[in-house]
Amino acid sequence: MGPIFRVKGWSGIQSLVALLFILAFACEPVAARGVVVNRTPWTMRITRNPNSSSATHWCQFWNWWTLTSPIPRSARVRCTQENLPPGKTSTGDVDGFTFHDREYYSNSRATIRGVWTKITDLDTATCVNSGGTPRCNY
């Protein structure tokens, strides 16, 4: 079996370098960011960069974790809060969400209204109306 990529007249090393160069510049990096999709008839709240000292609100998370403390736990942290209207998808990086006026399900876990769910930069949380109750999966 011959080489996968080879340029006529080039050594194996030259061909390998050329292939790596092509792959390095042909692929665009994808920025990881948390996304929330609101497919419910209710307004949601989202937060970006929770635990920021400059944030003016508080968020109570049921599953707060950090890189230095990776086991999810309940925590109250400073946060920003923005409305996400029905039928809208968040823009930018979102780190958490809640329904401030109703109980909701977060990955099949019943969550009290106003309690926040933390998501990672790799998550897309999609929330739908299921029998009058929001259900969010990510």
Is residue 97 situated within a structural domain?
A: yes
Is residue 121 situated within a structural domain?
A: yes
Cα dihedral 118, 119, 121, 124 sign: negative
Is residue 66 situated within a structural domain?
A: yes
What pLDDT score does 9 carry?
A: 64
Is residue 82 situated within a structural domain?
A: yes
Give me the number of domains the chain comprises.
1
What pLDDT score does 32 carry?
A: 76
SS3 annotation, the chain: CCCCCCCCCCCHHHHHHHHHHHHHHHCCCCCCCCEEEEECCCCEEEECCCCCCCCCEEEEEEEECCCCCCCCEEEEEEECCEEECCCCECCCCCCEEECCCCCEEECCEEECCCEEEECCCCCEEEEEEECCEEEEEC
Stretches in the chain below the pLDDT threshold 70: 1-31
Is residue 118 situated within a structural domain?
A: yes
Rounded to whole angstroms, how far apart are CA atoms 46 and 135?
15
Is residue 15 situated within a structural domain?
A: no
Is residue 81 situated within a structural domain?
A: yes
Is residue 24 situated within a structural domain?
A: no
Q: Which domain holds residue 56?
A: 35-137
